[in-house]
Homo-oligomer: A and B are copies of this chain.
Amino acid sequence: MSEKNSVGIVKSKIFKCKNSLKLDCGVMLNEYELAYETYGKLNTKCDNAVLVCHALSGNHHLAGRYSSSDKYPGWWDSLIGPNKPLDTNKFFVIGVNNLGGDHGSTGPKSINPKTKKSWGSKFPIVTIQDWTSSQNELISYLGISRLSGVLGGSLGGMQAIQWSIQYPEKIKNAIVIAAAPNLTAQNIAFNEVARQAIVTDTSFNKGDYYKLGVIPKTGLRIARMLGHITYLSDDVMGRKFGRKIKKINYQYNLNTEFEIESYLNYQGDKFANEFDANTYIRMTKALDYFDPTNGNKKKLSAVFKKIKSSFLIISFTSDWRFSPKRSKEIVKALLDNNISVSYAEIIAASGHDAFLMSDDRYHDILGSYFKRMLEAK
């Protein structure tokens, strides 16, 4: 997609919410800020807004660039822009950095108004419900009483589900990609290893590392390397790297021998220099906690009873983090309630990360669904 279909130069904005928010953990936030961006224009009926929720390491910068010299566009630039599947000529698209995030929203690095110091370890554990509650405040502030759609992949998809449960009157369509109704034990296990790598890094200092001027890089890079393996499929790693070695012969030492090792180490180093460890921990915790059935106390079908939105669910065959089987659990519970749902299982080799790729078959389905949303208005 050429740059001419870009939303162009964009600016990050801050929404200061003065309404207090009681978090799931019990902590009361008297006020907080959310960093957000918008693309396209809200129409006069205010019925063309699509909220895009981000995943673990994402943020509110979905599309466009901050300046002409900006090296990379927003993370979902392939999807969002004029004449792109999520067409900003027609939709008013909103990206928001989640509470607890590291990209401008109130989070562990922010100044705690009570202490005038960074929250650090004291920043509360946040949940997906806390996020949708705070996103709802932003939506109201923007003058939107009902969203045309909430879209998200992975952890973002879980937010779209939560929106449709929590605010049935305020969301017309939920587009849930590469997500699951909750984490499996294996999912939680991977998150816990990542967290343990971070919290046992001596620089973590129980989360109060800002004041010491250090970063738990060692732990963060391990967390990211591990995460990266789960985002890719065995197959795509085999195709990309296989057993390719860096030198002509084995070196027989502790250095990296295989290209896959270098790749992972590079990804780990990059991430550790960019992402905040306290935020990383909170994002993984939010994933762990998400469970609309509340530990199977209610069936998913029963939880979905009051939903009024239509759904598009997309999964990818090689995604072993949130496999198609998990998406089908959502589809089943929606069908049980006679809720309109379209489901697409895309044959893709890239694993969980496929949701970020610009595969034509995948983007065409999204494009068609967004068109239907316009026609149904």
| A-to-B contact residues, CB < 8 Å | 24-26, 124-125, 182-186, 188-190, 192-193, 195-197, 199-202, 206-207, 218, 221-222, 225-226, 229, 232, 234, 237-238, 240-243, 245, 250, 252-254, 256-258, 260-261, 264-265, 268, 281, 288-289, 291, 295-296
- Known contacts A184-B234, A240-B185: does B226 contact A256 (CB below 8 Å)? no
Min CB distance, A155 to chain B, in Å? 17
Task: Please name the 10 residue pairs, one residue from A and one from B, whose CB atoms are nearest each other, closest first.
Answer: A25-B252, A185-B237, A186-B234, A125-B252, A185-B241, A185-B260, A192-B261, A200-B218, A193-B225, A189-B229
Min CB distance, A343 to chain B, in Å? 22
- Contact (Cβ within 8 A) B291 A260: no
- Contact (Cβ within 8 A) A221 B237: no
Could you list 22 A-B pairs, sorted by A, with CB under 8 Å? A25-B250, A124-B252, A125-B252, A125-B253, A182-B243, A183-B243, A184-B242, A185-B237, A186-B237, A186-B238, A188-B243, A189-B229, A189-B237, A190-B229, A192-B260, A193-B264, A197-B222, A201-B218, A206-B254, A226-B226, A243-B291, A258-B288
> Closest B-chain residue to A127, C-beta based?
B252
- Contact (Cβ within 8 A) A189 B252: no
Interface centre among A24, A125, A182, A206, by most B CB within 10 Å? A125
- Contact (Cβ within 8 A) A229 B281: no
Q: Which residues of B contact A265 (CB under 8 A)?
A: 192, 196
Number of copies of this chain that the complex holds: 2
Q: Which residues of B contact A218 (CB under 8 A)?
A: 200-201
- Contact (Cβ within 8 A) A261 B188: yes
Q: Which residues of B contact A234 (CB under 8 A)?
A: 184-186
Q: Which residues of B contact A124 (CB under 8 A)?
A: 252
Q: Which residues of B contact A229 (CB under 8 A)?
A: 186, 189-190, 193
- Contact (Cβ within 8 A) B260 A188: yes
Q: Which residues of B contact A193 (CB under 8 A)?
A: 222, 225-226, 229, 264
- Contact (Cβ within 8 A) A189 B245: no
Query: How many angstroms between the C-alpha atoms of A254 and B199 in the bound complex?
Result: 9
> Closest B-chain residue to A325, C-beta based?
B234
Query: How many angstroms between the C-alpha atoms of A221 and B195 in the bound complex?
Result: 13
Query: How many angstroms between the C-alpha atoms of A225 and B188 in the bound complex?
Result: 12
